[in-house]
Each structure stands twice: as C-alpha cells, then as structure tokens.
Amino acid sequence: MAGLIGRKLGMTQIFDSAGAVVPVTVIEAGPCPVTQVKTPERDGYAAIQIGWGERKPKHATRAELGHARKAGLEAAPRVVREFRTPEPTSFEVGQRLTVEQFEVGERVKITGTTKGRGFQGAVKRHGFRGRPASHGHPKRRNVGTLGPGTNPSRVIKGKKMPGHMGDAQMTIRNLRIERVDAERNLLFVRGAVPGARDSVVYVRKS
C-alpha cells in the first residue's frame, strides 16, 4: 500500500487488553480513489496519485474536472497527493484505497502541517532560558549577544533568533496503529500527530 490521505479529528484515549490507558489520535482516512498511475516506462518512476474529499465544481478548474472524470469521479478531489510505489505496481485508476489495508500493531509515519504560532521570541521558539531573573533584569527574555566581535564581525548564518514559528511540514515516524474502524474510515494511532483539528494528514507505512 502506498498511503492514505485523511484529516485529524483530535485526540482521545482507549484501553488496551491489559486495561492500560492508551492516548491515541483519531484520523479519518479515505476512501481515496486512485486518479493516476505512473510507470517507469512512461514517467521514469513508479507512483500513484490519489485523491481525498470532494471540491465544489465552481471551485475546480476544467483541467481538474477532466482529470477526475478520467478516473471515474463525479467531482474533483479536494486534496491530491502522489505516493511512490515499488515496481511493478498493482494499482489501477479508479481503485479505492481504505483503512482496511492497515492492521492493528502496524507502524506508520504521518505527515502534517504544525500549528502556526506567528512571530515568537527565542525563549518560546527555541527554548532559550533567558537572562538573569534577579534584581529585575531589564531584558529578561532577550536573545543576548548575537555574534563574535573582531572576527568574523557578523552574525553567523543559522543563528537561533526570533522569527516565524510553526506552520511547517513535519513527519512523525514509527507510530503504532491501535485500532482500525473500517465502517467509519477511522484510524486510531498511538501518540500525537502534527497539525490542528480538521487539518489534512498523510499516512504511510514505515
């Protein structure tokens, strides 16, 4: 299986067979139709393109609508993503991928976009401890000195400084699937997954 597209519903907790509490993230994944199959002979590599959700016709271009009709879809997908596959691939255009291809105990890696935090200082963004707290230091959360003096007399590239925090793609690997609900297209994954509620995530086998 190449992967699935879904959305993060939130976190909850379940109980395992021993009665221990397991924190899980609930993901609504699929069904994802295969919209295109790429082969090494024609495209130079093996991959499949899958879609998720539906986009209103007025919000889709004619090219997107035509591409969807070739795959037998009535509406253009809301999200389209390409996943590499081994050669040769057994996927076909129009095939629907669901959570039934996952099993409890499998390890997956999930990609999402972290929450945007806006412009933040170095203490929150990088975990700086700050300046001395005694006697009312005037610059308690200041970065401090930025660069060497005489040589090289400039701020070194890559210096940790205040700036935009979050809103970046992140992949969490080696997450364990605790439960699969095929009727509701739900995956229960142990641990946290990057992104806010209702954000789009991509699930692949590790």
Model pLDDT for residues 119-178, shown as the tens digit of each residue: 999 999 999 998 888 888 888 898 988 888 888 889 999 999 999 999 999 999 999 999
Q: Which residues of the chain have pLDDT under 50?
A: none
Tell me what pLDDT residue 87 has: 77
With contact defined as beta carbons under 8 Å apart, do 42 and 64 qualify? no
Task: Tell which residue, 149, 138, 145, 148, has the closest CA to residue 161.
Answer: 145
pLDDT, residue 144, reads 86
Torsion of CA 198, 199, 205, 206, to 10 degrees: -130
Token pair for residue 181? Answer: 């609900």
Give the per-residue pLDDT at 89: 77
Global confidence as pTM: 0.87
State the pLDDT at residue 152.
86
Q: Residue 81: what pLDDT?
A: 95
Q: Which residue carries 């009709």 as its tokens?
A: 69
Residue 131: what pLDDT?
Answer: 87
Query: How high is the pLDDT of residue 161?
Result: 94
Q: What's residue 1's pLDDT?
A: 61
The reported pLDDT for the residue numbered 147 is: 80
